[in-house]
A and B are shown apart, each in its own frame.
Chain A
């Protein structure tokens, strides 16, 4: 699969980056990044210029070609930023080693999204932030169907357009704090956290988030 991403790296910034439109919404989300931060699937590094300055950041990606393109952007970042080639589903970091974990159009691309999210959960410290800028399947039946149809061919190049990422985030045990719409109910800015281990089940249930959120989060 990393071969496909190596190929896509060539035209990624022009055809897929969508930086002009989504940049400000991403910057709004990345404002919440704190040191030490892990950026999962850094791609060509388009987002690096949107990171708050002075943080200690590790950016990973499975594709060598993507990372090569990200290098000059990483060098321009005003702070320590390391790029590593790594699979999101098998992170080589100790448990609870990051304060923030960030993804951007990542969960449409990793082959096993829940497995990857469980890894993100493992490396995030309790109380740390999960920040995700992701596209998901629309709840609207017409747009949902369009995304299902698109997935028939985008899947061949490594992208699933119809994932239920919000449900996957919950399945990986994160607590969702807020969701903002960046484009309809398809492109979302999701903020979550990893709760400290709970002793008591009732307390845990009470922390699942505001009432009504679960309904809005079932993005299908």
Chain B
């Protein structure tokens, strides 16, 4: 019943907006998605490169992990601040922080168990992390919008 009302309300809101405004919003969200995707790919590549660089120094793997991850997170914070005016502060900071933490961790773990990926594969893995996070954010965003819309009836 509540869901039906919510659907009717959002349909009414959609109808009340001119088509050009809706198209403008659609374009905006596509552009922001492209921006988010490119940003997360960059952070993934940078994080992987940091870890690879530290691993190549041949230090103890726990020390390498701490330094590699610390460096990756420092660069991620700088990149996030740089991209924030365009993409939003929380929107850049939160998912990229997860990428900068997990990607070096996985690379260091692989190194520890004797899997040395080399530069190109490490960087590709970093880009993969960025892309996976982008897909997760997109999917989770859809779920969140749906769950709030279903739970609350706008009046």
Residues in A lying within 8 Å of B, measured CB to CB:
14-18, 20-22, 24, 135, 138, 140, 142-143, 146-147, 149-150, 161, 176-181, 183-188, 191, 209-213, 215-217
Residues in B neighbouring A215, C-beta threshold 8 A? 151
Q: Given A14-B85, A15-B84, A140-B140, do A21 and B151 touch, yes or no (CB 8 Å)?
A: no
B86 within 8 A of A: yes
Q: Out of A20, A138, A216, which one reaches B148, CB within 8 Å?
A: A216
B118 within 8 A of A: no
**Nearest CB of B to A212, in Å:** 5
Q: Is the CB of A191 within 8 A of B89?
A: no
Tell me the chain B residues, 123-155 only, with Cβ under 8 Å from chain A.
137, 140-141, 144-145, 147-155
Q: Given A181-B144, A212-B2, do A150 and B94 touch, yes or no (CB 8 Å)?
A: yes
Q: Is the CB of A24 within 8 A of B25?
A: yes
Residues in A neighbouring B93, C-beta threshold 8 A? 150
Q: Is the CB of B85 within 8 A of A15?
A: yes
Q: Given A24-B28, A183-B88, A184-B137, do A176 and B97 touch, yes or no (CB 8 Å)?
A: no
Q: Given A16-B84, A181-B148, A209-B152, do A142 and B90 touch, yes or no (CB 8 Å)?
A: no
Residues in B lying within 8 Å of A, measured CB to CB:
2, 25, 28, 32, 81, 84-91, 93-95, 97-98, 101, 137, 140-141, 144-145, 147-155
Nearest-neighbor residue (CB-CB) of A135 within chain B = B90
Q: Given A14-B85, A22-B88, A210-B2, do A150 and B155 touch, yes or no (CB 8 Å)?
A: no
Residues in B neighbouring A15, C-beta threshold 8 A? 81, 84-85, 89
**Nearest CB of A to B17, in Å:** 10
**Nearest CB of B to A158, in Å:** 14
Residues in B neighbouring A188, C-beta threshold 8 A? 148
**For B81, B93, B145, B151, which residue has the most chain A Cβ atoms within 10 angstroms?**
B151
Residues in A neighbouring B148, C-beta threshold 8 A? 178-181, 185, 188, 216
Q: Roughly how many angstroms separate A206 CA and B60 CA in the complex, as a whole number?
A: 62
Residues in A neighbouring B32, C-beta threshold 8 A? 21
Q: Is the CB of B2 within 8 A of A216?
A: no
> Can you name 13 A-B residue pairings with CB atoms under 8 Å?
A14-B85, A15-B84, A18-B89, A135-B90, A140-B140, A142-B98, A177-B154, A183-B91, A184-B141, A187-B90, A211-B2, A216-B150, A216-B151
Q: Is the CB of A212 within 8 A of B150?
A: yes
Residues in A neighbouring B150, C-beta threshold 8 A? 212, 216
Q: Given A21-B32, A24-B25, do A147 and B94 touch, yes or no (CB 8 Å)?
A: yes
**Nearest CB of A to B79, in Å:** 13
Q: Roughly how many angstroms separate A161 CA and B91 CA in the complex, as a whole number?
A: 13
**Nearest CB of A to B69, in Å:** 12
Nearest-neighbor residue (CB-CB) of B96 within chain A = A146
Residues in A neighbouring B25, C-beta threshold 8 A? 24
Residues in B neighbouring A216, C-beta threshold 8 A? 147-148, 150-152
Nearest-neighbor residue (CB-CB) of B87 within chain A = A21
Q: Roughly how many angstroms separate A147 CA and B85 CA in the complex, as a whole number?
A: 20
Q: Out of A178, A183, A213, which one reaches B90, CB within 8 Å?
A: A183
Q: Is the CB of A184 within 8 A of B140?
A: yes
